[in-house]
């Protein structure tokens, strides 16, 4: 007998899993179809940094706040460790200080954050290099999970406790209403959500061509475990992030940071480099990143990116063990100025792409929104109140 699901999700990255969770919470029968034998896309290559502070005011910030709540709720149930909480934004130039002062004094953007002067920042966060430190912004909101474990644990938990069927090694080749063609036979579902990540060449290829999509390739590094007791107080960023995170970048003071970078370190702007540092349970540091745009992404990696990322890390942090133990790149779809794309290629079919580096931070809320929308559509079609 053909099994009919309420929702079929294409893609087993964090965006697909978030939709599966939202639907399972409504009691829907859900299947997740993932092409690879386990997820190896952006969702396992990122920092695992659930970032709230600095997200663009409006939908993105709202989604980050809601997603953070869901991570906090789900992580202990799913056996996902929160590696650290909060964000330390190290301030190393007068221009960045002006941005962060404006940010911290805005009751909406800077809610719950505290600006520390240089002495207080150096005392409070001894892993920061004192030399050149003008102060720091402390945000308590962030969570950090290790994505290599978190995505696998979340998938297993959805299957084991939430009734979600997860089928790995299944490629979806076409979606026609509630019917999906796959290389393992047809699947029938009342609604479909396609979450393909950076795969813009597969499903709905021609439709996606109508958006201003490109791809963003990021360089990442892992440093060897640091000595016992050396712990980051939270995720760490610094001045250059002012240009990349729209919650800061949209403040008028950010133009001066951009101008200084253009004059003094144009290679950072050219390669879209800023610093994020997070720490794994074994003490290893995950640091990055760069942003190289193009579709297809360049097959070759600019060696200057690694040098620049390391230089920012070592200028900012007193890192005892500087040995690089892993390097990788990750790719996400990108639309200039747009954080996420939700499209409706057919009735009860949604195409959902996070078109910025915010999927770990916003996916759970996106999943709730899209599934609520589908529930409303289903109810309208059936002529009943949702």
**Bridge partners of residue 354, in order along the sequence:** 340
Please count the residues of this chain forming the interface with ligand FAD, following the rule CB under 6 A: 41
From the list 28-36, 205-213, 314-322, 368-376, the region that binds ligand FAD by CB under 6 A is 28-36
Which one among 7, 8, 9, 10 touches ligand FAD, defined by CB under 6 A?
A: 10
For residue 297, the tally of other CB atoms under 10 A from its CB is: 17
Which one among 330, 365, 370, 377 touches ligand FAD, defined by CB under 6 A?
A: 330
Q: Are 80 and 113 in contact (CB under 8 A)?
A: no
Q: Which residue's CB is nearer to ligand FAD, number 15 or number 348?
A: 15
Q: Which residue's CB is nearer to ligand FAD, number 74 or number 354?
A: 354
Q: Are 83 and 280 in contact (CB under 8 A)?
A: yes
Measured at the CA of 51, the angle between CA 129 and CA 282, to 5 degrees, comes to: 60
**Nearest distance, CB of residue 49 and ligand FAD, angstroms:** 3
Nearest to 357 by CA among 62, 109, 111, 55: 55
From the list 35-43, 85-93, 257-265, 301-309, the region that binds ligand FAD by CB under 6 A is 35-43
* Binding track, positions 279-298, relative to ligand FAD; x by CB under 6 A: ----------x---------
**Cis preceding-peptide flag for 296 (omega within 30 of 0):** yes
The CA–CA distances, whole Å, from 383 to 111, 332, 375, 377, 380 equal 43, 39, 12, 10, 5
Helix (H/G/I), strand (E/B), else coil: 321: coil
54 binds ligand FAD (CB under 6 A): no
Question: Is 112 buried (19+), middle (13-18) or exposed (0-12) by CB count in 10 A?
Answer: exposed
**Nearest distance, CB of residue 85 and ligand FAD, angstroms:** 14
Which one among 110, 197, 247, 367 touches ligand FAD, defined by CB under 6 A?
A: 197
351 binds ligand FAD (CB under 6 A): no
Question: What's the rounded Cα separation, in Å, for the pair 28 and 238?
Answer: 43
From the list 80-88, 224-232, 260-268, 351-359, the region that binds ligand FAD by CB under 6 A is 351-359
- Which residues are at the interface with ligand FAD (CB under 6 A)? 10-16, 33-36, 39, 41-43, 45-47, 49, 51, 171-172, 195-199, 202-203, 218, 220, 289, 330-332, 354, 357-361
């Amino acid at each position: 007998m053909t099994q009919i699901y309420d929702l079929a999700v294409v893609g087993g990255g964090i965006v697909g899993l978030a939709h599966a969770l939202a639907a399972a919470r409504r009691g829907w029968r859900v299947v997740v179809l993932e092409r690879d034998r386990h997820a190896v896309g952006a969702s396992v290559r990122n920092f695992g940094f659930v970032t709230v502070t600095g997200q663009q005011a409006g939908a993105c910030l709202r989604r980050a706040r809601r997603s953070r709540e869901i991570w906090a709720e789900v992580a202990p149930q799913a056996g996902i460790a929160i590696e650290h909480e909060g964000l330390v934004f190290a301030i190393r130039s007068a221009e960045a200080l002006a941005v962060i002062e404006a940010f911290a004094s805005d009751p909406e953007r800077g809610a719950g954050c505290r600006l520390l002067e240089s002495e207080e920042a150096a005392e409070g966060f001894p892993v920061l290099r004192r030399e050149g430190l003008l102060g720091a912004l402390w945000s308590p909101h962030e969570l950090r999970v290790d994505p290599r474990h978190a995505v696998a644990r979340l998938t297993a938990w959805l299957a084991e406790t939430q009734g979600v069927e997860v089928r790995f090694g299944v490629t979806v080749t076409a979606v026609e209403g509630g019917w999906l063609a796959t290389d393992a036979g047809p699947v029938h579902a009342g609604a479909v959500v396609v979450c393909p990540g950076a795969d813009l060449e597969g499903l709905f290829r021609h439709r996606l061509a109508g958006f201003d999509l490109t791809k963003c390739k990021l360089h990442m590094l892992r440093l060897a475990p640091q000595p016992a007791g050396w712990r980051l107080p939270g995720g760490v960023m610094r001045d250059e992030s002012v240009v990349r995170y729209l919650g800061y970048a949209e403040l008028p003071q950010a133009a001066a940071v951009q101008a200084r970078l253009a004059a003094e370190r144009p290679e950072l702007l050219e390669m879209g480099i800023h610093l994020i540092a997070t720490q794994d349970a074994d003490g290893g540091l995950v640091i990055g990143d760069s942003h190289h745009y193009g579709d297809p992404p360049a097959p070759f990696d600019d060696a200057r990116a690694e040098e620049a990322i390391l230089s920012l890390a070592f200028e900012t942090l007193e890192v005892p063990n500087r040995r690089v133990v892993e390097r990788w790149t990750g790719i996400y779809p990108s639309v200039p100025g747009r954080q996420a794309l939700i499209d409706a290629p057919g009735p009860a079919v949604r195409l959902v792409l996070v078109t910025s580096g915010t999927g770990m931070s916003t996916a759970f809320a996106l999943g709730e929104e899209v599934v609520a929308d589908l529930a409303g559509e289903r109810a309208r079609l059936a002529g009943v109140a949702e």
